[in-house]
Amino acid sequence: GAGVSQSPRYKVTKRGQDVALRCDPISGHVSLYWYRQALGQGPEFLTYFNYEAQQDKSGLPNDRFSAERPEGSISTLTIQRTEQRDSAMYRCASSPRGGLGTEAFFGQGTRLTVV
């Protein structure tokens, strides 16, 4: 597609429910990132994919968070048993070569609210 597309744009869920956030990167981009951004803060790294391989998941806060990119294109970030502290803007980004002299392009984000 023309840009990075994320869905849903907004998600309200009850505490304890699982949620799945979707990211469709720019066509042909090798690298895909998930970031979380709290109000008034910069994006915080969660995880990185190179094609379908999850090469860095050091930013995932705990084992309730997982991500996949099975065919090297669309990615899903799943949060199990959501808690109120998970409420944030979740941003996906893609880049042609991932930090190697290229910029990352961001999607509009999914605003997650856990009530």
Partner 1 sequence: EDKVVQSPLSLVVHEGDTVTLNCSYEVTNFRSLLWYKQEKKAPTFLFMLTSSGIEKKSGRLSSILDKKELSSILNITATQTGDSAIYLCAVTYSGTYKYIFGTGTRLKVLA
Instruction: Give the footprint of partner 1 on this chain (CB under 8 A).
Output: 3-4, 31, 33, 35, 40-45, 48, 50, 55-56, 59, 91, 93, 98-109
Nearer to partner 1, 109 or 114 (CB): 109
Q: Which is nearer to partner 1, 33 or 82 (CB)?
A: 33
Kindly state the smallest distance separating residue 53's Cβ from partner 1, in Å: 11
CB of 99 to partner 1, least distance (A): 4
Q: How far lies 12's CA from each of 18, 41, 69, 97, in Å?
A: 11, 21, 24, 34
| DSSP sequence for 6-70 | EE-SEEEE-TT--EEEEEE--TT--EEEEEEE-TTS--EEEEEEETTEEEE-TT--STTEEEE-T
Q: How far is the CB of 58 from partner 1 (least distance, A)?
A: 8
